Structure 1
Amino acid sequence: MTSDTDYTFEGWVAHDPSSVDGKMKWETYTPKPFTDSDIDIKVTHCGVCGTDLSSLRSGWKPADYPIVVGHEIVGHVVRVGANVKDVKLGDRVGVGAQSGSCLRSDCKSCSSDNEQHCPNELTSTYDSRYKDGSKAYGGYSRYWRGPASFAFKIPDGVPSEIAAPLLCGGLTVYAPLVNNGAGPGVRVAVAGFGGLGHLAVLFAKTLGCEKVVAISRSPSKRDDALRMGADDYIATAEDDKWHTKHARSFDLIISTISGAGFPLDQYLSLLDVKGNLIQVGAPEDPMPAFSAFSLIMGDRKVGGSMIGSRKQGREMLELVAKTDLKSWVQVRPMSEANQVIQDMDKGKARYRYVLQNE
């Protein structure tokens, strides 16, 4: 079943790295060819992620310009492919950072709910290409097209502007929390208190962790962190002995840090015996070196996590609906996207910008 398709795909198109300086252009573009497995979404909201800025400036790799960024997409389904069974016209759905994988039964990753690590056909929601070579475009736009299998139904009662940041940022911190046993009796530190960090605090508290502490350089966000439920806040710029005072205080650290000067040895010293540090921030520069003894002396581990599976995304959204968890967002008009990404780059977000189509 399909609707009429008398609409045009248009959005904020980036043509070169200068786009991150507020030089995206509102233009029409050609989406992937519509298939029987696809849906079209009329976008109402799209969260602004740090990944958007890195992609716009070709920070990790040369971007496949032209691109349309945005992978925290919420809207309503306006077209449904003939083979789509679980999504219907009018449904409110969301799309996160991934929009495709092979989903084959003989794929070890896809068959074990780890499709975000598919080695065969991994498609990001933007700055990526589908198997047929067509480009994937994101949600700084009026409409989005892609496989229905990577769309999440948004539960009733969860506002669209609250849901949008969860689809990448929320899942990025929820998955490593649950994968590493976050819950009663577990002490969690969140390194870096921004868009990802505030969501990590909210989820760690919602999961019932024994102690949740936010760590950031500046003390300016302390009151916000405590209002979100953090049990304590460590401002590293206030005391150069912070890592000594809090040594062996945590079982798990979720690191959202992506800036330069990450003192990894000092953060590792915060872990108790057999503690884990999981890196989810994706810096454009290499991770800093650290002493092997920072791991050996406490039988500690350093790991990483990339978004999460579709199964975890559904579980996360159910938890949010059940507990009324609220991401802290600032809604801005889609027309202001160029200014919003500049404000994001300057660290002004408190704590996630969400673009809304007028």
Structure 2
Amino acid sequence: MSTEYDFQGWLGFDPDAVHGNMSWGSFEPKKWEEHDVDIQITHCGICGSDAHTLGSGWGDTIYPCCVGHEIVGKAVRVGKGVRNISVGDRVGVGAQARGCLQDDCAECSAGRPNYCINGSVYTYNSLYPGNVGRSFGGYADYNRTDSRFVVKIPDGILSEDAAPMLCGGVTVYQPLRDNGCGPGKVVGVVGVGGLGHFAVLFAKALGADKVVGISRSASKKDDVLALGADEYIATNDDKDWATKNLKSIDIIICTVSSPEMPLTDYLGLLRYGGNFIQVGNPDRSELPNINAITLIMGGFKIGGSAIGSPQDIEEMLQLAVEKNIRPWVETRPLKEANQAIQDLEAGKARYRYVLVNEKHYRG
């Protein structure tokens, strides 16, 4: 296939972009290197991180910025140094485009490049080392990424289902796996939105005995039970919820983060030896104060987890195929990206939006 194609996409030029004010235009991808892959994009999930970045919620964004880090498409150019991808392969890219990958990096050498602090490049809004350019995301026609962070999408999974797994799915899959989700365990999911609905799906796929959805109101109860959860707690509707469910859960995946959330009560749900894992990271990365007695007497652990490595993504996708995991997605044409990001911010997604590039995908 000819490599004479333009890199164009939806660009945010200032924080107002998050309000549906992105503009379509051209951008200059990173300088081509022989370990790179160019992807003709067919699908791109919309993640909450996109909104946070467009609005400079996590710090000053490098504008213009093209967001989108749940990318699926076809490899159309493959560097001479690439061993894992061939032209024509259906491939995907998650939230990370590169780590330092040095032998003396404790994280990269241990297969955890998603925790690398020496040279991580994210799929958008990052500068590559060596003055080779910037990273631009998947609300676009094409993407260029280091092949070591490009994964093959296995047969048996639809592109629109695979896309949101590349960030949203692996963000909860990894901590569930690493904290022992499986037979004999009870898993609680705090906040059943885009991330939380994946946590319910993967907790069940990993064999948890029971999955409990936890949210403020009962409005999502039917959805959460339909996803496979066994029980549902509506914290605003039952003033005794914390007492009734005391020490009943082994693993809590928390997808929300608010200074006002009832963290002490959530921690009280954990059994001795349990784990509370924080994955939600909104604009204000603040949690409520933790009651010292609750912490000391609980015998549990509090931790956090960030995205996943390419190997984690491959493992998760294989599980999704084996267990026929089908996320709840709504596809939107790429041309509607501005409206879709506004709808995401308004909480209308049930439970993930996926943009479809109709130039490259006919269904």
Aligned residue runs from structure 1 range 134-153, under 5 A: 134-153=133-152
Any idea what SS the aligned residue of 2:106 has? Answer: coil
1:293-330 deviation line (CA, Å, top 9, x unaligned): 12111112110000112221111111111111011100
- Structure 1 residue identity aligned to 2:204: K
1:239-274 deviation line (CA, Å, top 9, x unaligned): 122111111010110000134521111100110112
Contact 2:258–2:288 at 8 Å: present in 1 too? no
Contact 1:258–1:284 at 8 Å: present in 2 too? no
Aligned residue runs from structure 1 range 337-352, under 5 A: 337-352=337-352
Moved segments of 4+, more than 3 Å: none
Residue in 1 aligned with 2:325? 325
Any idea what SS the aligned residue of 2:154 has? Answer: coil
Measure, in 2, the Cα distance between the counterparts of 1:51 and 1:303: 20
For these two proteins, the number of residue pairs brought into alignment is 356
Measure, in 2, the Cα distance between the counterparts of 1:267 and 1:202: 21
Measure, in 1, the Cα distance between the counterparts of 2:53 and 2:232: 31
Q: Give structure 2 stretches of 5+ with no counterpart.
A: 359-363
- Structure 2 residue identity aligned to 1:140: Y
Measure, in 1, the Cα distance between the counterparts of 2:21 and 2:130: 30
More divergent stretch after superposition (308-317 vs 85-94): 308-317
Deviation at 1:283, TM superposition (A): 2.2
Any idea what SS the aligned residue of 1:52 has? Answer: helix
1:157-198 deviation line (CA, Å, top 9, x unaligned): 100000000000000000000010000001100000000000
Residue in 2 aligned with 1:271? 270
Contact 2:69–2:167 at 8 Å: present in 1 too? yes
What TM-score results when the alignment is normalised by the length of structure 1? 0.98
Residue in 1 aligned with 2:304? 304
- Structure 2 residue identity aligned to 1:159: L
Residue in 2 aligned with 1:258? 257
Q: Give structure 1 stretches of 5+ with no counterpart.
A: none
Contact 2:37–2:77 at 8 Å: present in 1 too? yes
Residue in 2 aligned with 1:32? 30
- Give the root-mean-square deviation of aligned CA atoms: 0.9
Measure, in 2, the Cα distance between the counterparts of 1:295 and 1:246: 17
Identical pairs, percent:
53
1:98-137 deviation line (CA, Å, top 9, x unaligned): 0001212222111111111112210110111111231100
Measure, in 1, the Cα distance between the counterparts of 2:258 and 2:355: 24
Confirm or deny that 1:114 pairs with 2:135. no
Deviation at 1:287, TM superposition (A): 1.5
Residue in 2 aligned with 1:13? 11
Residue in 2 aligned with 1:179? 178
Measure, in 1, the Cα distance between the counterparts of 2:188 and 2:147: 36
What TM-score results when the alignment is normalised by the length of structure 2? 0.97
Measure, in 2, the Cα distance between the counterparts of 1:135 and 1:335: 24
Contact 2:270–2:300 at 8 Å: present in 1 too? yes
More divergent stretch after superposition (99-108 vs 173-182): 99-108
Aligned residue runs from structure 1 range 1-358, under 5 A: 3-133=1-131, 134-259=133-258, 261-285=260-284, 286-358=286-358
- Structure 1 residue identity aligned to 2:356: Q
Measure, in 2, the Cα distance between the counterparts of 1:249 and 1:152: 38
Contact 1:93–1:152 at 8 Å: present in 2 too? yes
